Amino acid sequence: MSIVLVALGAAVGAPARYLTDHLLQGRHNSSFPWGTFAANVAGCALLGFLVALPAQGGLMKLAGTGFCGALTTYSTFGYETVRLARRGASTLAVLNVGASILAGLGAAYCGMAVAQALTG
């Protein structure tokens, strides 16, 4: 049953990631990977929220591992950072790394804080 929950979550998370990237990147005339950045930060916030909930079970498999795992992407983050550096946009590459780490950690912390505030 666990694999089914993970697969169902991933079946929703992967299209959500694609749509996030497509919608955000199309709105910016920039080389910065806004779509990947937004998907990764949102996934960090949601995962932080989920892990702070008292009872997880199937919810963590479905939403945590499945949805967040498919929504977020370390491989694309790495590829886009290297691509920026190779194109001579080393400042954007460094900014992508720093902002992604700080925003991701901050989002996870905020997600956990929201869950703790809601559950007491």
Residue 110 identity: C
pTM given for the model: 0.93
DSSP H or E segment with residue 36: helix 34-51
**Which token pair is 22?**
């497509």
How would you class 50 by CB atoms within 10 Å of its CB: exposed for 0-12, middle for 13-18, buried for 19 or more?
buried
Write the pLDDT tens digit of every residue in 16-61: 999 999 999 889 888 999 999 999 999 999 999 999 998 788 999 9
- What does DSSP assign to residue 7? H
Residue 69 identity: G
pLDDT score at 89: 97
Distance CA 102, CA 45 (A): 12
